[in-house]
Amino acid sequence: MKKSVAMCTYNGSMYLQNQLESIVNQSEQVDEIIICDDCSTDDTVHIAENFLKDKGINYRIIKNINNLGFKNNFYQSISLCSGDIIFFCDQDDVWDKDKVKLMCDVFRTNENALLVFSNADVTEQDLQTKGDLFVALSFRKEFMKNSKVQVEKLLADNFVTGATSAIRKELVELAKPYGEKWAHDYWFAVIAAMNNGLYCIDKKLIKYRQHSDNTIGILKGVSFDLIKRLFSKDKSNKKNRDNYYAELRIEILDYLLEFMKEKNTYAPYYSVVKNCYDFWKKREAFAVQGVFKNTGIVLKDAIHKEQYVYRNTDKPIIKDFIKGIALAHRDA
C-alpha cells in the first residue's frame, strides 16, 4: 500500500521544518511527499528542498505561477499524488510518530474505509497544548453511529479536520466534480460518509498549531469584537462570517443536492440533506425580516428541538435566537 503526503505551503518558513521532520520520522515510512507552494515570498521552498534532498523519500515541489488559494492548491496537490493512501498535511503542525501506521491500520483492516480522521492536541504556536480538537468541534462518538447519522451531523457542522485526515485514492473520483463552495476536507468527509467509508480514530495524532496566520476560530471566547461583527450591517466585508448565517449553508447544500441527483446513487441520504436544507432555508430571510418574525421561526423550531439536529454546538437554540436578532433588517 503506497502512501503519499499532500502538502500545501504558503510563507510557511517559520514552522515547515518541524512538520517535515515529524513526517520523515514516522514509525511507518511514507513513500512520497508532494508539496505545492502557492507563490511564497519567504524561504519556504528552499527549506523544503534543503531538508528533503537527502532523506531517501521521493518528493516533488511544485511552485505555482499564480496563486491558487488554499482549497484549489490542495486539490492540485492531491491530484499529483500516486499513493493508494493520501495524507492531507498542513505546513505548520507536528505529527505523532505513529500517525501513519495507526491510520494505515484502519485502511488495511477495513476495505470500505475511504477517509480516516483523528483527534488532535490544539496548541499555541510554541506547541504548548491549549485544548482538545474534538471538544472544540463539539464532536461526540455517537456521531459515528451509522452513515446516515454521520451525514446529518456533518451537515450540522463539519467535525472532520483536513490536517488530521487521510483518504483512499478511490475517494478522489467519487468526489468529483468538487463543490466550489465546499472546503476540501468537508466535501471529502461528506462523500466518504455517503459511501459508508468514514472512519474515526479517537486518538490525538497531531499537534494542531494555532497562530496569528492560521487561526480557525476554535477555543475563542466571546469578545467585544465578536459582538461588533455579529451585529454589523456592513455586507461588503465578505470575511466577516459572523455576520452571515443561512447563506453560508444554502449555497453548499444546493450543490450537494444537485450532485446527488446527477450521481443518482445517494437516494438513502436525500431526505437527510433535504431536511437540513429546509431548516436553513427558513433562516434565509432573517436579514430582511424583523426581530419578531425571526423569533417566531426560532421558537417554532425550538418546540421540536430542531436546532439540536442541525447544529453541532452548545446552546444551539440560544445561538439561533441571537442570530435572529443580530441579522434582523440587515438587508432591509
Give 50-110 as a 3 state SS string: HHHCCCCCEEEEEECCCCCCHHHHHHHHHHHCCCCEEEEECCCCEECCCHHHHHHHHHHHC
Per-residue pLDDT at 215: 41
Per-residue pLDDT at 92: 94
pLDDT band (50, 70, 90) for residue 313:
confident
What's the pLDDT tens digit per position in 62-101? 999 999 999 999 999 999 999 999 999 999 999 999 999 9
Q: Name the DSSP class of 43.
A: S
| End-to-end C-alpha distance for the chain, whole angstroms | 57
Per-residue pLDDT at 221: 54
Per-residue pLDDT at 194: 98
Q: What is the pTM of this model?
A: 0.92
Average pLDDT over the chain, rounded to an integer: 92
Look at 14-23, 237-246, 276-285 and tell me which has the smallest mean pLDDT: 237-246
**Residue 166, amino acid:** A
Cα angle 157, 161, 162 (rounded to 5 degrees) comes to: 130
What's the pLDDT tens digit per position in 182-216? 999 999 999 999 999 999 999 999 999 997 665 44
Percent of the chain with pLDDT over 70: 90
Q: What's the half-sphere exposure (Cβ side, CA atoms, 13 Å) at 7?
A: 30
pLDDT band (50, 70, 90) for residue 236:
low
d(CA 42, CA 44) in angstroms, rounded, equals 6
For residues 107-133, give the mean pLDDT.
96
Q: Distances from the Cα of 197 to the Cαs of 137, 270, 294, in angstroms?
A: 21, 17, 38
- In this predicted model, which residue has the larger pLDDT, 262 or 212? 262
Other Cβ atoms within 10 Å of 257 Cβ, number: 16
What's the pLDDT tens digit per position in 5-16? 999 999 999 999
For residues 209-238, give the mean pLDDT.
60
Per-residue pLDDT at 239: 57
For residue 316, whether the previous peptide bond is cis, meaning omega lies within 30 degrees of 0, is no
